[in-house]
């Protein structure tokens, strides 16, 4: 995809091959985010894992202390009391068979899907629709749960999913350009801490191999993986 003038101007303001410290990178990215909207700040990790092996898929959720800055739309597949509680917790779409039918018919007006275990046999039929979009509920990410109301509150409050792609990369949005440096630092620290916690026992060699921070419209800034401890979560 062709890059705009703002992107190319940004690349001239720093050495793209230099490995920055994480706080330096956050400062730089904020200065480069000059779009007319509040750009997302995203971090990409290249992990030393082989996602072709089931025991090396890195996947889960992490609560970002400063939130995401996004208003995500949540769909909940549930019935009865669980559905009522999910609606009260702020879910945007709630339903059982009727919601399954709507999604099967092409309705995808949501960013995250949560389901109760008893609805999963029906939701499982939506694999071809939800799977390619990364929307399929999964117990490992807390999106298949008997307490969907709690999950709605968590994800609305700043919990995000992460997962290695087929190349071993993890991409996560850690906030907005309008966030202060401390907020972005706290979110990045929580994410790094979670990725280290989720390191597969079978992964060999260097685990976090490359880190790149970028804004929606801006160029990527490389971070030195050996300096991530500078934003480490206090024990």
For residue 232, the model assigns a pLDDT of: 78
Q: Domain of 56: which CATH number?
A: 3.30.190.20
**8 lies in a domain?**
no
Give the domain-ending residue among 139, 156, 173: 156
**96 shares its domain with 148:** yes
Q: Which CATH number is 135's domain given? A: 3.40.50.790
Full domain range(s) for residue 81: 74-156
In a domain, 188, yes or no: yes
Q: What is the pLDDT of residues 111-143, one digit of tens each?
A: 999 999 999 999 999 999 999 998 999 998 999
Cα–Cα distance for residue pair 13/217, rounded to 1 Å: 15
Same domain? 165 vs 135 = no
Q: What is the reported pLDDT for 11? A: 62
Claim to verify: residue 143 and residue 94 sit in the same structural domain: yes
Task: State the total domains in the chain.
Answer: 2
In tens, the pLDDT along 72-92 reads 999 999 999 999 999 999 999
At 87 the pLDDT is 97
Mean pLDDT estimate for the chain? 92
Across residues 146-158, what is the average pLDDT?
Answer: 95
Mean pLDDT over residues 190-197, rounded?
Answer: 95
Which residue, 130, 156, 182, sits at the end of a domain? 156
Residue 5: pLDDT over 80: no
pLDDT at 129: 95
State whether 135 and 117 are in the same domain.
yes
* pLDDT (tens digit per residue) in 35-57: 899 999 999 999 999 999 999 99
pTM of the model: 0.82
Residue 148 lies in a domain: yes
Last residue of a domain, one of 107, 141, 156: 156
């Amino acid at each position: 995809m062709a890059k705009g003038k703002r992107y190319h101007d940004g690349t001239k303001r720093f050495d793209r091959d230099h490995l920055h410290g994480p706080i330096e990178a956050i400062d730089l990215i904020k200065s480069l985010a000059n779009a007319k909207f509040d750009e997302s700040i995203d971090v990409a990790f290249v992990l030393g894992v082989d996602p072709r092996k089931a025991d090396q898929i890195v996947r889960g959720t992490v609560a970002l202390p400063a939130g995401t800055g996004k208003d995500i739309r949540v769909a909940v597949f549930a019935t009865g009391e669980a559905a009522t509680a999910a609606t009260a917790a702020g879910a945007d779409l709630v339903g059982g068979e009727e919601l399954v039918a709507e999604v099967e018919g092409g309705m995808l007006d949501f960013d995250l899907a949560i389901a109760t275990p008893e609805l999963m046999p029906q939701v499982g039929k939506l694999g071809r629709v939800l799977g390619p979009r990364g929307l399929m509920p999964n117990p490992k990410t807390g999106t298949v749960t008997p307490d969907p109301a709690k999950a709605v509150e968590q994800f609305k409050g700043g919990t995000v999913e992460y997962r290695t792609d087929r190349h071993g990369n993890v991409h996560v949005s850690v906030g907005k350009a309008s966030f202060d440096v401390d907020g972005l630092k706290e979110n990045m620290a929580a994410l790094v801490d979670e990725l280290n916690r989720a390191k597969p026992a079978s992964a060999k060699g260097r685990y976090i191999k490359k880190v790149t921070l970028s804004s929606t419209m801006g160029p990527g800034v490389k971070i030195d993986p050996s300096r991530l401890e500078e934003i480490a979560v206090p024990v």
